[in-house]
Structure 1
Amino acid sequence: MAIYLGVSALIEDDWKSHRTQEFRNVQAAKAIHRLASGTHRNWEVWSPKSEDFHPLGFHAYPRSSGHVLRKIGGELEEACGEILKSAVPEIIRLRTEMFGEHPSHLPGQTKTRLIK
């Protein structure tokens, strides 16, 4: 739920972002998919320069695309549906207080609709 709310707030705060529900669902599902997948390997590698072992890591993630992302996103949307309308404006307000306005809010940018 936290990822879906965060992605929704970022999309709403970016005036140039896509506004379709499918885009929001798929972007949140990509983040969820990354948490649940991937290949992770770590090794200790000898370095002759420092004459010591150093950690070396390999992290690879499968390409996330297709129908499964729409399904995951749809489930997230269903779980967060009611809280979304009240939480997103509050998340945007808190983010703006901490980090300032989104770059799309610079002078000359046009504003599009927010979640209703």
Structure 2
Amino acid sequence: MNDYQRFIRRQSEIKQRAKTPNHMYGYCRIIGCGKPARAGTNDGLDKKYCRSHYEHFQRHGSVVKGSYTARDVNPYRHAALEWLLANTDDVWVTDAIGRVRGLYQRSGRNIEAFRLRGLSPSDRAKAAWARLRHHGIDPLLVIASWVAIELVVKDDPQPVLTSEFKQVQGAKLIHKMASGTHKKWDIQNSTSAMTRTTELHVYPRPRGRVLRHIGRQLAETSELLVDHRIGDISTFVQKRFNEQGRPSRPWPKGWSARRRKDD
């Protein structure tokens, strides 16, 4: 039996196990959830969580806590970017900027969102960084997003402290900066001189292992900055909130995360 035959046999065995309910796992581990774990149905092999809690975990990085809203994160992103702009000569800020630019350079060519199907999660993560580069997203905006997540979690009275949750939250933020592909073209009517405009808008779904890859890479870009300067940034942010209130905009005036180039 060669390697391919072993692979097909193993794949067939896993599919059969997934379709066979195991009644030892009749309940989801989340308190108050009366649904069976996926291993207790014909829907998968997860021995801990039901389908809905598993999907919640894939999208948000936690089985119970949802993602932070723009109202939660925007004040911190705004203030974090102000600190970064005032300290661009800081050695750790310079290091973080260089790491983000390194990700941009290593991400390869820009791939349209409608061509992502069939790619591995790691390749999809590279494509996300390539879109950010293609649309001219300033590295400071990327760094400010991660710093904002660190500060939000720090100030959250009921935080989820796992690295995975923070990485997923950070990945969702930067994924939205340049998430889709947008195309527009005119089609000539074959029976008349009239033309009609056709538009295409495709957005890749932010979930699963793709978010984990993006979040891990995002955390690595700013890990030294957070280690050495998070205290100073937190003090600046709280002083800014006390003196000027919490801004609702994610960025100071004149900044935008959607400075797009022509496709």
Once the two structures are TM-superposed, the CA of residue 28 in structure 1 deviates from its matched residue by: 0.5
Alignment counterpart, residue 27 of structure 1, candidates 142, 155, 169: 169
Query: Number of matched residues?
Result: 83
More strand by percentage: 1
TM-score by length of 2: 0.29
| Corresponding residue to 1:81 among 212, 223, 242 | 223
CA deviation string 1:63-110 (max 9, x = no partner): 42111110001001111111112222222211211214xxxxxxxxxx
Whose radius of gyration is greater, 1 or 2?
2
Picking from 143, 147, 158, the partner of 1:5 is 147
Describe how 1:92-107 pairs up with structure 2 within 5 A: 92-100=234-242
Change (3 A) 1:66 1:97: same
Query: RCO greater where, 1 or 2, for CA within 8 Å and sep 6 or more?
Result: 1
Secondary structure in structure 1 of the residue aligned to 2:239: helix
Relative to structure 2, which stretch is displaced further, 24-33 or 74-83?
74-83
In 2, are the aligned partners of 1:34 and 1:61 still within 8 Å (CA)?
no
Correspondence for 2:104: none
Q: Can you give the 5+ residue segments of structure 2 that lack an aligned partner in the other structure?
A: 1-142, 184-200, 243-263
In 2, the alpha carbon distance for the partners of 1:38 and 1:99 equals: 33
Q: Match of 2:224, as an amino acid?
A: E
Structure 1 position 61, deviation (Å): 5.6
What aligned pairs does 1:50-69 form with structure 2 within 5 A after superposition? 62-69=204-211
Unaligned runs of 5+ in 1: 42-58, 101-116
Q: Which residue number in structure 1 is paired with residue 214 of structure 2?
A: 72
- Normalised TM-score (structure 1): 0.60
Give the conservation status (yes or no) of the 8 Å contact 1:10–1:92: no
Contact conserved, 1:22 with 1:70, CA < 8 A, in 2? yes
CA 1:15–1:87 in structure 2 vs 1: closer, same or farther (change >3 Å)? farther
Assess if the C-alpha contact under 8 Å between 1:11 and 1:18 holds in 2: yes
Runs of at least 4 residues off by over 3 Å? 38-41, 59-63
Aligned-residue offset at 1:9: 1.5
**RMSD in angstroms over aligned alpha carbons?**
2.3
After superposition, the Cα gap between the structure-2 partners of 1:99 and 1:61, relative to the gap in structure 1 and judged at 3 Å, is farther
